[in-house]
Structure 1
Amino acid sequence: MDQETANALFNVGGFLLFFNAPPNLEFGIDYNAWTVGPLFKGVKLIPPGLHFIYFSATSKEGVQGIRTGFFKYFESQEVVVREWNPASEDLRDETELDPDQVERYRLNIRDFDRNMGPYPLDPPTFYQRWQRLTNYITPGLVRRILPNNGRVSHLPSKSASTDEVLDVKDKRVGRQVEKEEGMEFTYFDLRQSFPRGATGDEVTRWSLDKSWLARDLLQRVYRNNHTLMLGEMQLAFVCLLMAQNFSGFNQWKHLVHLLCSCEDLVQEKPNMFIDFFDVLQYQLDECPEDFFRDILSENNFIASMLKTFARNIPPNSVDLRSRFERLKKFIATRFKWEIPESDSDEDDDEPVVVEME
């Protein structure tokens, strides 16, 4: 980072003070992770906005522990203070620290300057990629979905009454998946995609076309702002990508399924779905090829969803059709997979992904 950039960021950037880090701790922020040394006291010059801070302890035998972290929306020049708790191998947040001491740290932040690493902006592509993945995530979304101070892990939550692991059933893949602690993603049932009291014809219509359900969620949950729905889709994906969080994976799949199944809404709001494809392509671009093949393409998920969407594109939506074709070309180039054209005579049980030579 050049001195001019560093000086500019010092006037607006945030700070994360981290005290008593143990030896060989993996510590990371966004796309950057390090094994920290004894002099490490945190990160400075953090660009204002959303960031994911994570850590993983290493045992005496050299075994890496579970990655845990938290999302934090940094305001300009905000100072966040955390301290390592060796008993729990976790971080103490500011509510567990002496408030007078925390205030002294904030007032004397420059005293820690030489022991704080600058937020990495070289290469700049790392930060740009992070921005593209998170540009619709608002502080309000983080507070609602991650009420435990933005914390994310893939440890199972416990029932207060039975102390048993709570499971949620993902019926689309036919297996149990853990429900992680402190996750409050928006609940909706894709099988109940019609209004209460619907007639038989309405049940049939809105079961095939999920537009009623999508409109209901947009109105009730997202204040008629589709970027907030896409923000939840982004937050779910980043929880999976950065913390291997499978509650996030489930929510991401639910939202992709929903948005690819809205024939009526596509005609009404084509720009919403252009934004959706921008988000989806950025996400797929972050997936290693083996991750795409083994996870995202399970049961031909991506291919079958995009094939469904292709049937819903209105003939006069030139911009949406062009954006959809660009996404198909990206998938073919990036993963060597081809999404076949829709064919009403095709057996729905046959594979819908063709692996290219």
Structure 2
Amino acid sequence: MDQETANVLFEKGSCLLFLNAPPNLEFGIDYNAWTIGPLFKGVKMIPPGLHFVYFSATSKEGVQGIRTGFFHYFESKEILVREWNPQTEDLRDETELDPDQVERYKINIRDFDRNMGPYPLDPPIFYDRWRKLTNYITSGLVRRVLPNNGKVSHLPSQTMQEEDPLTVKDKRLGKSVEKEEGMEFTLFDVRQSFPEGATGDEVTRWSLDKSWLARDLLRRVYGNSHKVMLGEIQLAFVCLLMAQNFSGFNQWKQFVHLLCSCPDLMESDPNLFIDFIDVLQIQLDECPEDFFRDILSENNFVAHMLQNLGRDILPQQEGLKARFDKLRLFLSHRFKWDLPELDDDEDDEDAPVVVEMD
């Protein structure tokens, strides 16, 4: 990194003290991962903001274990302490450590300096991508959705086990999606998108146009800020992309379905949908091609949703139409998809068209 950036991060950057980790552990933060050695003590000069820290133990036979990790919103100059627990092959957080010892670690953080690697910003492309992928996620959102110190679990929720069924059936995928323990995404059912006590006409209207549900969530959960809602969409997607977490996947799909089915809200608040398309394109650009084809596009889910979104754009909404056209061009170049033009009148079953390339 250049000297000016290094100086700024030296003054304002955060530190993660990662103690007693075994050699050959895979350790990563955001898009960067390493196999660590015996002298590794953590990462310094972490840019303030959201980061995902993860690790995976390696067996004596060299087999990589399940990736485990946590999200943390680092404040400027923050020092976060984690210690390896060999019994559980997981981390102890500060609530499980001697508070006096933790405080001594923080006061004497410079003693660990030579054993801490700097957050990689050279080249800056990976950090720039990470920021774009997470730019709406706030510290409050992380605390609400991941109350267990940001930890992403792969264990089924005890509540779900008690209530039975254990899993939430996702009929579009034809698979069962478990609700993992400690994941508190906003609860809503996109199939029940009308107010309680609605008349028959209202049920019909708001089942086809899900604007009532979107407005209710914006008012009740997100303080009428669509950027906070987009933050939860981003967090759900990153839980899937980085942690292979399927509660995140289920939540992301619900939000995509919701926001691609709101013509009334689109007419009154087009900027929400311009920002949503920005978020969606950045997310799709981060997907490996096989991941996109095997998971996100199964049963043409993304295609159907984007067709709905495109058809709801009004002719006079030139800015929104231009942004959607940009997304269509991106899909054509990135995944060899051709979504129909907005004025095309073709059945959902016929799109998208996969263009065969030599």
Match in the other structure for 1:174: 174
Structure 2: gaps (5+ residues): none
Pair 284,9 (structure 1): closer, same or farther in 2 beyond 3 Å: same
Cα drift, residue 172 of structure 1? 2.3
Shift of the alpha carbon at 1:347? Answer: 4.2
Q: Hey, what does 2:233 align to over in structure 1?
A: 233
- The aligned residue for residue 75 of structure 1 is 75
Provide the C-alpha distance between the structure 2 equivalents of 1:286 and 1:341, rounded to a whole number of angstroms: 25
Partner of 2:353: 354
Contact kept in structure 1, 2:19 and 2:84, CA below 8 Å: yes
Structure-1 separation of matches of 2:70 and 2:97: 18
SS at match of 2:158: coil
- Relative distance call for 1:163 and 1:202 in structure 2 (3 A) is closer
C-alpha displacement at 1:171, in angstroms?
Answer: 2.5
Q: Deviations over 1:267-314 (max 9, x none)?
A: 100011000001001000101111111111111111111111111111
Q: Which runs of 5+ in 1 are unaligned?
A: none
Is 2:339 the partner of 1:339? yes
Distance 2:94 2:237 in 1: 28
Partner Cα distance (1:218, 1:160) in 2: 27
Q: Quote the offset at 1:345 in angstroms.
A: 6.1
Q: Which deviates more, 38-47 or 175-184?
A: 175-184
**1:254 & 1:163 partners in 2: Cα distance?**
22
Provide the residue aligned with 1:329 in structure 2: 329
For these two proteins, the number of residue pairs brought into alignment is 356
Whole-Å Cα distance in 1 between the matches of residues 148 and 284 of structure 2? 28
The offset of 1:153, in angstroms, is 3.1
In the alignment, the residues of structure 2 paired with residue 58 and residue 82 of structure 1 have an alpha-carbon distance, to the nearest angstrom, of 19
- Alignment of structure 1 residues 1-357 onto 2, 5 Å: 1-159=1-159, 166-341=166-341, 346-348=346-348, 350-357=349-356
**Separation in 2 of the partners of 1:185 and 1:94?**
24
SS at match of 2:136: coil
Displacement of 1:168: 1.4
Q: Is the 8 A contact 2:23 2:36 kept in 1?
A: yes
- Residue identity opposite 2:324 in structure 1: F
Q: CA, structure 1 residues 165+258, in 2 after alignment: closer, same or farther (shift >3 Å)?
A: closer
- The DSSP-based 3-state class of the residue aligned with 1:111 is helix
Contact 1:20/1:84 (8 A) holds in 2? yes
> Offset of 1:169 from its aligned partner?
1.4
Name segments (4+ residues, structure 1) moved above 6 Å: none
1:180 positional shift? 1.2
Distance (Å, rounded) in 2 between the aligned partners of 1:163 and 1:117: 46
Corresponding residue SS for 1:154: coil
For 1:99 and 1:269, the matched residues in 2 are separated by: 49
Aligned partner of residue 218 in structure 1, secondary structure: helix
Give the structure-2-normalised TM-score. 0.96
Paired with 2:297 and 2:270, the residues of 1 have a C-alpha distance of: 25
User: Given residue 257 of structure 2, which amino acid in structure 1 is its aligned partner?
Assistant: H
2-structure distance, mates of 1:188, 1:157: 17
**How far apart in 1 are the matches of 2:179 and 2:42?**
31
Partner deviation per Cα, 1:304-356 (whole Å, 9 max, x = no partner): 111111111111100000000000000000111111246786444x2422110
Secondary structure of the equivalent of 2:233? helix
Contact kept, 8 Å, 1:158 with 1:164, in 2: the verdict is no
Label 1:76 to 1:317 Cα distance change in 2 as closer, same or farther (>3 A). Answer: same
Cα 1:277/1:345, change in 2 over 3 Å: closer
SS of alignment partner, residue 331 of structure 1: helix
Normalised TM-score (structure 1): 0.96
How many percent of aligned residue pairs carry the same amino acid? Answer: 76
How far, CA to CA, are the matches of 2:196 and 2:177 in structure 1?
29
Residue identity in the other structure for 1:240: L
Equivalents in 2 of 1:234, 1:246: separation in Å? 14
Report the 3-state secondary structure (helix = DSSP H, G, I; strand = E; otherwise coil) of the residue aligned with 1:148: coil
In 2, the alpha carbon distance for the partners of 1:345 and 1:262 equals: 19
- CA distance in 1 between partners of 2:173 and 2:114 (Å): 50
Task: Tell me: CA distance 1:54–1:223, structure 2 relative to 1, closer, same or farther (3 Å).
Answer: same
CA RMSD of aligned residues (A): 1.7
Contact (CA 8 Å) 1:307, 1:341: kept in 2 or not?
no
2:306 counterpart SS class: helix
* Compared CA separation, residues 339 and 165, structure 1 to 2 (3 A): same
Using the TM superposition, name which of 85-94 and 166-175 deviates more.
166-175
1:163 to partner: Cα distance: 11
> Amino acid of the residue matched to residue 327 of structure 2?
L
